[in-house]
A and B are shown apart, each in its own frame.
Chain A
Amino acid sequence: MELLSKAKFNFIGNRKKAFIISGIFILLTIVSLIVRGGPNLSIDFSGGTALQFKFEEDISPKLNELKEVLTGLNLGTPEVKLIGTPDETGSEVQIIIKKKEDGTAVGDRVKSAMSEKFPELKKELRREEKVGPKIGKELQSNAIWAVLLSLLVIVVYIGIRFRFAYGVAAIVALFHDVVITIGIFSMLNWEISLPIVAAILTIVGYSLNDTIVVFDRIRENLDGKKGDKASFEDQINSSINQTLSRTIITSLTTFVVVATIFAFFMNTADVLKYFSGALIIGIISGTYSSIFIAAPTLVVWNKKWPIEKH
């Protein structure tokens, strides 16, 4: 079976359109971040307490009351959310209280307030997490270091294996992917937690795979016998076209697998929902950026600083 093997799209010729589309997305990201006052950081980074309860009945009519009770404890503004949809097994609720200072036993006070004000509700604690403010800050800086370090290692590696220009092109594409992921999370108002940073790092590593497939072909074509005859743009274009089926299929198989995870965890508030969500965004963005950002960046770079043969 063949898919796209006879592709002859003019990717490079249309690069301005691609840059504009990406530019718009990035702009949307910035707007969203400004409107929402920064990324929605989970308690991993902001510090605070999160609890998740499963009730034996459908508690959605009592949510507002619950929120009032918890606000009255003066522990900070609580976020009370229903997770998934209530069914015959009951309903699940998540309570998040973000604090900048360390509270004493916020979790215990929430639990005792709930037992006191709603004694008839049978509940089960599914999860409780508390992160002190100090650790929150540490995790933040660790996360940022991890991302920067990875990007650095990658630039260096690609720079060595190919040419410096390729390293730059790769970073531009990766940066684009990371920003878009954070942007879409911001637009959906999804929390950025530690696992999400892990997902972003995974995207950084994975998105590179596609980019390398294209770069590899570019290098092969430029070095080959035909290298001198065709123009740089044409070389790049044909490289992309030649590897198109590879790029699409590899992304497709991983996408299918990750989308399945997302499908199963969609109705929960579990880590894997947002984790797989981030991976989905990353895979799509990564494929797009390998074709429409990384390679065209090489063309732009080449115009100013011609890339030598290997």
Chain B
Amino acid sequence: MGLGFFERLFGSSRGPSKKMAKERLQLVLIHDRTDITPELMDALRRDLIEVITRYMDVDEKNIELGMDRDEKEGQIALEASIPVLRLKRGSQIKAKPQA
């Protein structure tokens, strides 16, 4: 056991820790700032489903929705996973509701 053991333990092999600090902060602040309550998330989910189901039938119970950091780009993203059952035919697509 020498100094090398401690170096490996505390991070020179894992790279500088400030990168992790910055990423964690950015993610945590997205939540803190927008104050995305569960109620808001539910409302967002319902609105999304309403729009999407105009174009396709989806498995509503298995939709996953969340904020995360995109591995490649490093950007914070709203990620949605929406299982599609079938696409509607052109004639079936309802017109947008009038504003």
Partners in one complex: no
Residues of B within 8 A of A (CB): none
Residues of A within 8 A of B (CB): none
